[in-house]
A and B are shown apart, each in its own frame.
Chain A
Amino acid sequence: MNEFVEAKVDFKWQEPKKTYDVIIIGGGGHGLAAAYFLATRHGITDVAVLERKYIGGGNSGRNTTVIRANYGIPESVRFYKRSVDLYFQLEEETDRWIMHKQKGLVWLAHSEAHVRQEKARAELNTALGAETSYVTPSEIKEICPQIDITGSGQWPVLGGSYHPAGSTARHDRVNWALAEGAMKRGAHIHQRTEVQDLIIENNQIKGVVTNHGKMYANKVLCAVGGHVTSIGDMAGLRLPIRTHPLQAYVTNHYAQSFGPIISSTSLYFYISQTARGEILLGAEIDKQPSYSYRSGYHFLQTCSFRAMTMFPFLRDLRINRQWGGVCDMSADYSPIMSKTEIDGFYITSGWGTWGFKAIPASGESMAALIATDETPDLIAPFSLDRFKRDRTMADRGSAGTH
């Protein structure tokens, strides 16, 4: 499929049934991917995905779509590498154009400590198959001619790591492709269906209570984003998660091509160009936990100031629109993909600001976990009980922004 051959997405909406084999709470990327991989890899199609609003309307539709694998701990690199690989083949597999575009990703280092960190990152990632190399300032200038390598004289670039597989894709299209693939094979997706309670008997999940009545299933996956704590409360689970807002914005059209995705490890912002030609900017989460989707002027001010330090051409652009999402930040900045203390109740959560890139690998792994009830090796380190076992996957430096 190419950009001139565009077919309409073919959704097959169904009436809700009373019982399913599997119920998935949350119709975002992770929930839809789980349904898709259950249908395609395990032949389980008696599945319902329940979405409170509309599919892909939460954080799956609010993120900044960076796909990369350059993480700081081996377990994460392996997992995200799998996801990057799955993204590369997703268009062919689903026969939908998700606007996947390989751009290459540069992480800038502004201090000796960060230079050492990026050198280590390059070594670790390359060793695990996620090709990353250390680059000098002049090489960075070649990759991105628009950069002011002196950082306006204040934040000089001393080096960086270059991750060629870094890509972006269109988030709505990823959601739609997965939803269509799942529905085509018989899975149900119910929008405007809010889960109000869980039905649990003798420590075994039996189903969910929704605003459209009860639905029963012996396996339930919670793939909820920011509001996961309320689902955890229904199950009596304490979660190591805080919900923080994350904001982003785009400028008006920038006529030239801005090739790579660039991120600064000291200034906490990242920049890329959307398919429409807008310059997309994002930063770290807001400091205070909140469920409010509001975005504010203070973020625009600070993020623009940092971005213009490295990219003076941004001064000539205007801000077109801004938005916010709410992120489920886990205590160690790594995701949680796991069985729980309740039989048949699975959880994929803690996706904070790094969820979009993981959609296919999380979907694939959670589908395998649900189908076989055995945790795949790829996600075993990310179990919920790692906090109890004191085996946290702390990797804030790789996951803090995008």
Chain B
Amino acid sequence: MISINCPTCGKRPLSEFHYGEILSVPDTITDDEAIDLDRAFMYNNTEGVKYEAWFHAYGCRRWVRLHRDTRTDEVIDIDSV
């Protein structure tokens, strides 16, 4: 993943973007305390395809949403938020 194809700016180098994680607590965790713990410290750390947000800090300054495979860094889909 050397560049991101920004919907506004076109193909731009990765260094122009800031990474943002879309956090989610799995449905299997129902206990209130466990949910708090999960929100504070735990990560899904997906090995495979996941959604994530990138902020085009040195470009259009808009958030884009990437669908990325973390095993290969291949971008499967991209759209603006």
The B14-53 residues at the A interface (CB cut-off 8 A) are 14-15, 18-19, 21, 29, 37-38, 40-43, 45, 47, 52
Partner among A227, A240, A289 whose Cβ is within 8 Å of the Cβ of B42: A240
- Contact between chains at B41 and A331 (CB < 8 Å): yes
Give the number of residues in A that approach B within 8 Å (Cβ atoms). 25
Across the interface, name the chain B residue whose C-beta is closest to A290. B70
Partner among A243, A387, A388 whose Cβ is within 8 Å of the Cβ of B45: A243
Residues of B within 8 Å of A242, CB to CB, are: 43, 45
**Known interface pairs A290-B70, A292-B72; A298-B43 also in contact (CB < 8 Å):** no
Please, what's the 1-or-0 string for A283-301, where 1 marks a CB less than 8 Å from any CB in chain B? 0000111111010111000
- Contact between chains at A290 and B73 (CB < 8 Å): yes
CA distance A72 to B1 in the complex (A): 35
**Known interface pairs A229-B47, A243-B47, A388-B37; A298-B13 also in contact (CB < 8 Å):** yes
Residues of B within 8 Å of A388, CB to CB, are: 37
Interface residues of chain B, those whose CB is within 8 Å of chain A, are 1-2, 13-15, 18-19, 21, 29, 37-38, 40-43, 45, 47, 52, 70-73
Contacts A239-B43, A240-B42, A242-B43 known; list 15 others, CB within 8 Å: A240-B41, A241-B45, A242-B45, A287-B19, A288-B1, A289-B45, A291-B70, A291-B71, A292-B70, A296-B2, A296-B14, A298-B14, A331-B42, A331-B43, A387-B40
Interface residues of chain A, those whose CB is within 8 Å of chain B, are 227, 229-230, 238-243, 287-292, 294, 296-298, 302, 331-332, 387-388, 392
